[in-house]
Amino acid sequence: MSISWVRRGIGYIWLLLELFKESRPLHVVLGNESCDLDSMVSALTLAFYLAKTTEAGKIFVPVLNIKRSELPLRGDNVFFLQKVHIPESVLIFRDELDLHALHQAGQLTLILVDHHVLPKSDAALEEAVAEVLDHRPIEQKHCPPCHVSVELVGSCATLVTERILQRAPEILDRQTAALLHGTIILDCVNMDLQVGKATLKDSKYVEKLEALFPDLPNRNDIFDSLQKAKFDVSGLTTEQMLRKDQKTIYRQGTKVTISAIYMDLEAFLQRPGLIAELHAFCQACSYDVLVAMTIFFNTHNEPVRQLAIFCPLVELRTMICGVLERSHSPSLKLTPAPSPHPNLQAYHQGNTQVSRKKLLPLLQEALSAYFDSMKIPSGQPETVGTTREQPDKDLDRASNSLIPAMSQDDEEPVLPPTPMNSLVDECPLDQGLPKLLAEAVFEKCSQISLSQSTTASLSKK
Ligand SMILES: [Mn+2]
């Protein structure tokens, strides 16, 4: 197994150091804010291609568009990086490089992959965008005025594969091929024609990669392990589980947050210190109500849904539970389940067709009823809204034939598939601009040297 990615990571760090000394521009390849597998792999592999094929002296760096602390929420990314022996320490995350400062210093060029609309908080970076490679329908209004390649295929990784194989096939190594191959297969639901995500071009490039590297993993195997890793929450903390796939609605300053939890409610409620963690989670973000919507699949592969409503305000909790219990369109068919605490009401949801998308209007209705009952004077203009905290559309969309009910959680129409950018309230830079200090870079270098020796010894086996 090659360790080129490790060398590449070290290369990046040294180049960054050089760059800061010499004030030379940095070419950042940036995926979208969900940092799903497609965005991560497209950024890594396109940066690899550009670095290998552009004249010397230009520096290309893939940047993962999430905070480093959020990588554990992307189980498939973590799994795949390990599988192809790319240490997390060589990657550069959004909170580690101050793109706005680089841009202000005239040292930034951006190449966008797997999206083409920057979120509001990054609007100032738009003038730095030099190129776009995307697989979603163009949003004319927001599209940067530069060279834009858009083709509606199942995976952006297909477009990167095409670029490499058409323009510089000699640079493709097995490790990069494995990254592209697995990503296309995951995005295209194992090339299942019935699911309809794979286009002819996706299939064509999966086949080409397999022809070039006959020892790539079997399609079913890599699809099953990536899909499993994507939904595996066993290694997450309670807070990470709550943040993994979360939406928040608010009305007149009252915030209700809804988290999809991919495990059995009974097991979730038995997690040690759960109530204290729910309290802390709500307090940290001023949520008045937390709705945990669990979904898992029983041994017959049938979906099981359960609900937990955590809210220390008795009147508000009672109102929400009442509206959900009495709802007829749709009827949730709720039956109370054991609860570990009076502030938490738990239910089994008999009607498994009711996804989070259908639950949201009911919660809005409950909030309205609550404010009506309180007769809160409507002196100031009313504020109502929805935000998506953790953009993980693909998780929602999970069009796995094994788990059809999950696709019903899809929050948006099938096309256009995303820019979740504009829907995201929180951006990695909301907490102020990160500073890339020289010490931090040196510390990273020493970490990489360590991981290099480990990987090198692993690779020899
Ligand atoms: Mn994509």
Express each pLDDT in 58-101 by its tens digit.
889 999 999 999 999 999 999 999 999 999 999 999 999 999 99
* Span(s) in the chain for CATH 3.90.1640.10: 4-229+430-460
pLDDT for residue 410 is more than 60: no
- CA 197–ligand 1 middle distance (angstroms): 11
- List Cβ neighbours of 444 (8 Å cut-off, separation of 6 or more): 13, 89
Among 75, 144, 84, 44, residue whose Cα is nearest residue 421:
144
Q: What is the DSSP letter of 23?
A: T
- CA 157–ligand 1 middle distance (angstroms): 8
Mean pLDDT to the nearest integer, 218-232: 93
Q: Which among 117-131, 160-174, 293-307, 360-374 has the top mean pLDDT?
A: 160-174
- Report how far residue 361's alpha carbon sits from residue 327's, in angstroms, rounded to the nearest whole number: 11
Residue 344 near residue 316 (C-beta atoms within 8 A): no
The model's pTM: 0.69
- CA 124–ligand 1 middle distance (angstroms): 23
- CA 451–ligand 1 middle distance (angstroms): 29
- CA 35–ligand 1 middle distance (angstroms): 9
Residue 136 near residue 418 (C-beta atoms within 8 A): yes
- Report how far residue 186's alpha carbon sits from residue 7's, in angstroms, rounded to the nearest whole number: 27
SS3 for 208? Answer: helix
One-letter amino acid of 456:
A
pLDDT, mean over the chain: 81
Give the model confidence (pLDDT) of 270-288 as tens digits.
Answer: 999 999 999 999 999 999 9
pLDDT for residue 155 is more than 90: yes
- CA 222–ligand 1 middle distance (angstroms): 18
Q: Residue 13's pLDDT is what? A: 63
- List Cβ neighbours of 254 (8 Å cut-off, separation of 6 or more): 288, 289, 316, 367, 370, 371
Question: What superfamily does domain 246-389 belong to in CATH?
Answer: DHHA2 domain (3.10.310.20)
* Span(s) in the chain for CATH 3.10.310.20: 246-389
- CA 184–ligand 1 middle distance (angstroms): 9
- CA 113–ligand 1 middle distance (angstroms): 8
Number of neighbours of residue 373 by Cβ within 10 angstroms: 11
For residues 264 and 21, the model is more confident at 264
Q: Residue 97's pLDDT is what? A: 92
Both structure tokens of 323: 């509206």
pLDDT for residue 415 is more than 60: no
pLDDT for residue 305 is more than 50: yes
Give the model confidence (pLDDT) of 315-368 as tens digits.
Answer: 999 999 999 999 998 999 999 999 999 999 999 999 988 888 889 999 999 999
For residues 388 and 292, the model is more confident at 292
- CA 135–ligand 1 middle distance (angstroms): 7
Q: Residue 383's pLDDT is what? A: 60
Q: Residue 295's pLDDT is what? A: 87
Name the phi and psi angles at 260, rounded to 5. Answer: -85, 130
- CA 230–ligand 1 middle distance (angstroms): 15
One-letter amino acid of 347:
Y
- CA 191–ligand 1 middle distance (angstroms): 15
- List Cβ neighbours of 394 (8 Å cut-off, separation of 6 or more): 34, 36, 38, 187
Give the model confidence (pLDDT) of 5-25 as tens digits.
Answer: 655 665 566 666 666 666 678
One-letter amino acid of 120:
K
- CA 203–ligand 1 middle distance (angstroms): 16
Q: What is the DSSP letter of 270?
A: T
Mean pLDDT to the nearest integer, 198-214: 97
pLDDT for residue 377 is more than 60: no
Q: Which among 18-32, 48-62, 131-145 has the top mean pLDDT?
A: 48-62
- List Cβ neighbours of 330 (8 Å cut-off, separation of 6 or more): 351, 353, 354, 358
Mean pLDDT to the nearest integer, 376-398: 50
The full DSSP string for 165-224 is HHH-GGG--HHHHHHHHHHHHHHTTTT-TTTT---HHHHHHHHHHHHH-TTSPPHHHHHH
- CA 330–ligand 1 middle distance (angstroms): 32
For residues 278 and 230, the model is more confident at 278
- CA 455–ligand 1 middle distance (angstroms): 29
Q: Residue 16's pLDDT is what? A: 65
- CA 188–ligand 1 middle distance (angstroms): 10
Residue 278 near residue 309 (C-beta atoms within 8 A): no
- CA 136–ligand 1 middle distance (angstroms): 8
User: Which residues make beta-bridge pairs with 259?
Assistant: 246, 292
- Report how far residue 397's alpha carbon sits from residue 447's, in angstroms, rounded to the nearest whole number: 36
- Report how far residue 304's alpha carbon sits from residue 348's, in angstroms, rounded to the nearest whole number: 8
Domain over 4-229+430-460 is classified CATH 3.40.190.10: no
Among 207, 86, 218, residue whose Cα is nearest residue 158:
207
Residue 259 near residue 242 (C-beta atoms within 8 A): yes
pLDDT for residue 309 is more than 70: yes
Residue 73 near residue 235 (C-beta atoms within 8 A): no
Q: Residue 296's pLDDT is what? A: 83
pLDDT for residue 51 is more than 70: yes
pLDDT for residue 369 is more than 60: yes
Residue 345 near residue 339 (C-beta atoms within 8 A): yes
Instruction: Provide the percentage of residues in the chain whose pLDDT is more than 70.
Output: 76
